[in-house]
Structure 1
C-alpha cells in the first residue's frame, strides 16, 4: 500500500517561510533593540542596585503587548495589516524592546535578597501589566461599540 499525503496545498505560506514577514519581524526587532539600548545607555545605574530601566522596559512592553494582541484579536482575523502589526510590532519591536536576557544577567549581578525580589517583582508586575493591557484593549473595543 502506498503512503499518500493528506496535506492540502495552499497558496499561503507560514510566516516563518515568508521573506517579507521575516523582514518585518527583523526590522521591528532591530528598532526595538535600538530603543532599549539607547534607554539603557542613557540611564546607567550603579552595579548592585535595582535595574529600574530594564524593569520599566519589560513592564511597559508587557502592557503594550497585552493591549496590542487583545486589540488585534478583537478586530478580526490574523491577516493583512493585523498580521503585519502582530509580527512587526508584537514579535519584532516589542520582542526586541523587552529583554529577558538582560533581566537575567542583571539579576545575577544583584545581591541575593535583591535578586530574588527583583525577579519575583518583575514577573508578577509584568503579568499584571499584560493583564492591564488586555483589559484596556477590551475597554476601548467595548466603548467602540463591539460586544465582548
Structure 2
C-alpha cells in the first residue's frame, strides 16, 4: 500500500460533507499526512471579478454569497487544523477543478463522499464518480450516512 503524504478533501458544506472531512482528518492523522481541502463553487453565480476562478481567501469581497462560502471553508479548515496555504475555493466544474488541483499539488489521495444506493450509477454521486475516473491518484469514497 502506498504511503499517503498529501490528502485532499473535496467537500461540500452539508452535514454529510462534514462526515467526509472528519474521516479524511482521521486518516491524515494516522498516516501523518498533510491535509488539503477544496470546495468548488458551481452553485452560485460568478460575479465579474479581477482575480479569476481561484478565490483569494485572504481578501474581502462585496459579494455576500462568496463571503459566506469563504467563511464556511475557513470554519471547517480551522476545525480540521488545515493550514491556510492548503485551502482552495475555486469556481468551476467540480471534477475538473478537483483533479486539476490534485495534480498541481502532488496529492496522493483524494477523499470524496459516496452514496450507498443501488447499482454502480447510484453508488457515487456524479462528482465522486467523475473524480474517480479522471484522477491521477488514488480516490477514497467515504460512505455518506443518511441525515
Larger Rg: 1
Same fold per superposition (TM over 0.5): no
* Structure with greater proportional strand content: 2
* Structure with greater proportional helix content: 1
TM-score category of the 2 structures, normalised to the smaller one: under 0.3
